[in-house]
Structure 1
Amino acid sequence: MVVIATNLLWARINTTIPGSLVGLVLATAIASSFHLNVPTIGTIPQSLPMPQGIPHWNDFNVIRELINPALALAALGSIESLLSAVVADGMTVSEKHNSDRELIGQGLANMIVPFFGGIPATGAIARTAVNVRSGGKTRLSGVIHGVALGIIVLTLAPLAAQIPLAALAGILMVVSLRMVEWEAIGLLMRATYSDFAVMILTWLVTILFDLVLAVEVGLIAAGALFIKRMSDLSLVKIPETEVFPPGIPLELGKEIAVYRVDGPVFFGAAERFATFLRDEPEVKYLILRLRFVPNMDTTGLVALEDIYHDLERHNCRLILTGLQPEVKQLLERTGLLKTIGLSNCFETTTEAICSISPQIACSQPVAADLKTKKLMELNN
């Protein structure tokens, strides 16, 4: 309680000296002066570790037994350090971290430390947050942290051994509360319940188990949510008044259906993409506007091919308009573009409709295509 109160109130008195350090010294002084029976850090060695020698690598069974835990430690250590770096980025406006530099530096250190009897080290979210909240702004703060620890080990170890563990808990409580981004939580609650549910799930796993498991569960949940969102393919039938040029015969208009596809066509949307378009028995010309489809995966290609063959069996012609370069290259590589036919691919819907019947007057583009061209010009 002393450390928490000092952390919260010290900033009103002095902003140069970190409140967490003042609270730590004050709590240690109170515990030592009144001889309070509280758990402390305990004995700290007053010397730097010396080289322990080279391990023996002649036993292949030992290497095979250790390789899996080594890879697991490397992966978990990398995740922990990058999470710490992201937390620091969110708490400061200074230069953002470089992931490659962070992981290379950590990897080199963890390759050298074992020869001195050490264990793998990672960046820690709690210590990183304390560092930033205490005024650390550059990588030099991490260097100062290491030098200070070395000085404490060599000269102040007896005093540091008397620090109560409850004092460290007080610092972590204040830091954890200050790390909570209340505005972001409010935004999540007001925006989408699914994102808020992922956050609550991650939080519960962190509390009940540990941070690493929480990150894994959170990533899986977020990935499943992403797939669900991407599979919600927007498929809209465009009214005849928006796409048909003037003078089109009524009979021909009934045989043409135009659909706009929004979003990527991939495996999550393949089934809906296929079944939705097959529910038009009277249509003889099916036009798909793919201008807003940025990419397509293998299952999407298979779905598109199934649609083509299914429509072909019903004497219905499939026409594609507005193909993006990436999608068009993919169709060419797989041979599907040749199967559908270049004669069935057009830049605009108006050109596609005009190709169906040469008697249609197509001198003026329709309003929908004009809007599309204006949008493309603005984007360019």
Structure 2
Amino acid sequence: MMKYIKSKKINIKDDTLAGITVSLAMIPEVVAFAFVAQIDPLVALSGAFIIGLITAIFGGRPGLISGAAGAVAVIFVYMIAEGHKKGMLMDTPIDNMGYYYLLGAVILMGLIQVLAGVLKLGRFVRLIPHPVMMGFVNGLAIVIFIAQVKMFSHKELSVSAEGVKEYKNIFMQGAELYTMLGLVLLTMAIIWGLPKLTKKVPAALTAIIVTTAIVVISGMDVSTVGSYIREGGGDGLSGKFPTPNLELWQNLPFNLDTLFFILPYAFLAASVGLIESLMTMNLVDELTDSRGNGNKECVAQGAGNIVSGLFGGTGGCGMIGQTVININAGGRGRLSGVTMALTLLTFILFADKYIEQVPIAALVGVMFMMVIETFAWSSFRIMNKIPKSDVFVLIIVSAVTVIFDLAIAVFVGVIVSALVFSWESAKKIRARKRMKDDGTKIYEIWGPLFFGSITAFNEKFDIKNDPETVEIDFVESRVADHSAIEAIFALVEKYQAAGKKVTLKHLSEDCKVLLYKASPIFTGVIEEAVDDPRYHLAANPEDFPKPLSEYKF
């Protein structure tokens, strides 16, 4: 075992202390999102334990922390409410039916994620541009900041005329607010200052312990983990070891109506969960200068959600806030995630009375420092140094993440980036025109030929006034898609209709195959002989490490 630890460079102390710190910081966030989804906080905490443990052991990115994330929880809010209504309208009314629909949706969500991993869809995260990544990080940092600001409040239960329960936030005032702010600033000051004195102990964990000790010893009347849970209708942190939820199979109708009801929510939750997990994985890759396995992470996330649903827990995904806390605290290996999950379970089973005494202010201070660490402040500095289109993408992704949803934000960012790239690439098509001694006109095409550049490509040719013999040389161009092939086909037909001979030179092998399949007219049009060494270089640059003059073609 020690040989394995040394070979993997596992730092037991740093990973263990980082895991404990993250578990403390995770409790209020998971509980808060449980209130948003109107489910028992212990359901969310059980899901955080199960998902966190499975992804830590089997995931593709050591150091990444997963749990019951708010990005997933908010998707199920409407489904749970509608599920309650459907349950009361059944022949035998079932109370809390929305909970059973939630478990079914979480299991289906997990199956979709496993399928995504098996199909190796995780690799598509490479297509996400850097401005989208920065917008994602900034947007989530703002969302987490807003969630912490809401902690400066008490929850008050109100019941509508229809009997729907709703908890309203009543913000703190006066001495209570100032005391909360003071404890938050104390926590932040310890996290900021302690590393300047020593790095042997994690600053965040030390700050939580010191702030808690001050509150307990002085007897301050402040909002704590226990009071926060009870204000939201919970019974406290105490729970039992997760076991298979047998009531799910007794109460959930297994039919097409149920499938069509939960499928849209499960698919959206699976998409959001994978996007947040994979982008958090990319962030960890940058922070640790290493590389994770996206497809393996997809399968692990899916397996975690399946088991969580079967054991009565809610769905989850990678959590950027807790992951940044883990990395900053020195957590790098799988042990940090395992420790987080086991510590969370220990709190629920044995140490609930102690953890309930932790002031919310200490945890808010940790999360505020995490927001400061997470937000890409460099994005302000580079605004005037990067293309305006990238600035627009960065801002729009941040805004959409805050206002709407993470998945929508990423899709919008990728689509806008792709459109900008296509537009800019379309303007790069060029044609160098020259004449041979025998009167043949040569068009040397430069730049990518694809659907966006076809119009500009066609404008380069003067079919009516060109001589009887024309050569079109593609040595500096790449034919990218079917639209480009159709454009070449139409151009050849126009020249032939005008009674002129056209020859296509230096086409790539795959393009030749497609053109030969498209029409027999290309048999005498495409020239197979290669007389330009640049063609070989363009076809496979890695085969020519030395100057071209040293090769014989």
TM-score range, shorter chain: 0.7 to 0.9
Counterparts in 2 of 1:63 and 1:317: CA distance versus 1, 3 Å:
same
Q: Distance in 2 between matches of 1:65 and 1:317?
A: 62
Deviations 1:18-62 (A, max 9, x none): 211122223333444352434644321242233320424444322
Partner of 1:262: 447
Task: Kindly report which structure 2 residues correspond to 1:157-176, keeping only aligned pairs within 5 A, or say none.
Answer: 157-176=352-371
- Picking from 192, 196, 200, the partner of 2:395 is 200
The alpha carbon displacement at 1:196 in A equals: 2.4
Q: Given that residues 236 and 260 in structure 1 are in contact (C-alpha distance below 8 angstroms), is that contact kept between their aligned partners in structure 2?
A: yes
Task: Kindly report which structure 2 residues correspond to 1:1-380, keeping only aligned pairs within 5 A, or say none.
Answer: 1-32=185-216, 33-38=218-223, 40=225, 41-42=228-229, 43-53=236-246, 54-55=248-249, 56-94=252-290, 96-181=291-376, 186=381, 189-239=384-434, 244=436, 248=437, 252=439, 256-263=441-448, 265-278=449-462, 281-335=465-519, 338-348=520-530, 369=532, 378=544
Q: Given that residues 202 and 218 in structure 1 are in contact (C-alpha distance below 8 angstroms), is that contact kept between their aligned partners in structure 2?
A: yes
The alpha carbon displacement at 1:174 in A equals: 2.1
Q: Distance in 2 between matches of 1:291 and 1:270?
A: 17
Counterparts in 2 of 1:279 and 1:34: CA distance versus 1, 3 Å:
farther
Q: Distance in 1 between matches of 2:284 and 2:533?
A: 48
| Residue identity in the other structure for 1:327 | C
Structure 2: tracts of 5 or more residues without a match: 1-184, 230-235, 547-553
| Residue identity in the other structure for 1:108 | A
Counterparts in 2 of 1:58 and 1:191: CA distance versus 1, 3 Å:
closer
Larger RCO (CA under 8 A, 6+ residues apart): 2
SS in structure 1 opposite 2:504? strand
The alpha carbon displacement at 1:379 in A equals: 5.2
Is the deviation greater in 230-239 or in 298-307?
A: 230-239
Is the deviation greater in 122-131 or in 270-279?
A: 270-279
Structure with higher Rg: it is 1
Q: Distance in 2 between matches of 1:140 and 1:280?
A: 73
Q: Distance in 2 between matches of 1:294 and 1:188?
A: 33
Counterparts in 2 of 1:309 and 1:45: CA distance versus 1, 3 Å:
same
Q: Normalising by structure 2, report the TM-score.
A: 0.57
The alpha carbon displacement at 1:300 in A equals: 1.3
The alpha carbon displacement at 1:370 in A equals: 6.2
Q: Given that residues 432 and 444 in structure 2 are in contact (C-alpha distance below 8 angstroms), is that contact kept between their aligned partners in structure 1?
A: yes
Counterparts in 2 of 1:340 and 1:150: CA distance versus 1, 3 Å:
same
Kindly tell me the number of residue pairs found equivalent between the two proteins. 347
Counterparts in 2 of 1:299 and 1:35: CA distance versus 1, 3 Å:
same
Counterparts in 2 of 1:373 and 1:172: CA distance versus 1, 3 Å:
same
Q: Normalising by structure 1, report the TM-score.
A: 0.81
Q: Distance in 2 between matches of 1:75 and 1:210?
A: 11
The alpha carbon displacement at 1:277 in A equals: 2.0
SS in structure 2 opposite 1:260? strand
Structure 1: tracts of 5 or more residues without a match: 352-368
| Residue identity in the other structure for 1:230 | S
The alpha carbon displacement at 1:143 in A equals: 0.9
The alpha carbon displacement at 1:372 in A equals: 6.3
Counterparts in 2 of 1:214 and 1:168: CA distance versus 1, 3 Å:
farther
Q: Distance in 2 between matches of 1:112 and 1:287?
A: 64
The alpha carbon displacement at 1:125 in A equals: 1.0
Q: Distance in 1 between matches of 2:346 and 2:320?
A: 23
Counterparts in 2 of 1:189 and 1:137: CA distance versus 1, 3 Å:
farther
Q: Given that residues 278 and 311 in structure 1 are in contact (C-alpha distance below 8 angstroms), is that contact kept between their aligned partners in structure 2?
A: no
The alpha carbon displacement at 1:132 in A equals: 0.9
SS in structure 1 opposite 2:510? helix
Q: Distance in 1 between matches of 2:243 and 2:534?
A: 73
SS in structure 2 opposite 1:237? strand
Counterparts in 2 of 1:187 and 1:321: CA distance versus 1, 3 Å:
farther
Q: Distance in 2 between matches of 1:379 and 1:329?
A: 28
Identity score, percent: 21
